[in-house]
Amino acid sequence: MSVQEEEKPLPSKYFKWLYDQVVPVDEVDGMSSYWLVCVRMHELPFKALVPHDDNRIAEGAELRAEFMDTTGLEILDWVVLMFPDATVFEVLVALAKRANLMIEMTEQKWFQIFLQNLKLDLYSDWYCAHHSTGRINRILGHFNDRTYRYSGHGGGLFPLTKPPADQRQVELWYQMGAFMTEHEMY
């Protein structure tokens, strides 16, 4: 670990640890880096608006314990990482890990699918440096407030061509299963 990394506050180290899990190393500082989008996701608490999406919050929060185990932090350091709930970024990282256990493609590939489905793949760091980022907040708002369309298009994480139910009322876990089934990933 470099001296610069050693001086970073614990929340910054934690964010970088999360980011490194879902963005390939060769893209961290490149044209397809999504650091700024992920920072915004990490500033936004995830809203569990349908039953059982609180499981996504729990899995997102479990990443903090995994980070502590991985880095050998003491319990006193845990206090620094205590947020009221999991952030959108933590939920997506945890969901990418779970998706990869079901359909092995790497967490990075799953996270890229999430970015594409949300249309956030258009907002690389290069783009954000040259354009307004207000659209990112609107996209994340549609996702987090579940104001997307019945099919999940227009802001859902798992849009479907033939949804069996209103995706705004379906927990993310079952949305993901329906997405995998519709795309014949099994």
Q: Could you read off the pLDDT of 103-115 as tens digits, one per residue? A: 999 999 999 999 9
Is 181 within the bounds of a domain? no
Among 162, 135, 140, smallest CA distance to 47 is for 140
* R_g of the chain, CA atoms, integer Å: 16
Is 160 within the bounds of a domain? no
Residue 128: pLDDT band (50, 70, 90) is confident
Number of folded domains that form the chain: 1
DSSP code for 45: B
Is 179 within the bounds of a domain? no
Domain interval for residue 113: 3-149
Tell me the whole-structure pTM to 2 decimals: 0.89
Determine how many CB atoms are found less than 10 A away from the CB of residue 8: 14
**Range 136-142 average pLDDT:** 96
Residue 183: pLDDT band (50, 70, 90) is very high
Is 177 within the bounds of a domain? no
- Report the distance separating Cα 173 and Cα 108, nearest Å: 19
Determine how many CB atoms are found less than 10 A away from the CB of residue 115: 23
Question: Chain-wide mean pLDDT for the chain?
Answer: 87
Residue 11: pLDDT band (50, 70, 90) is confident
Is 58 within the bounds of a domain? yes
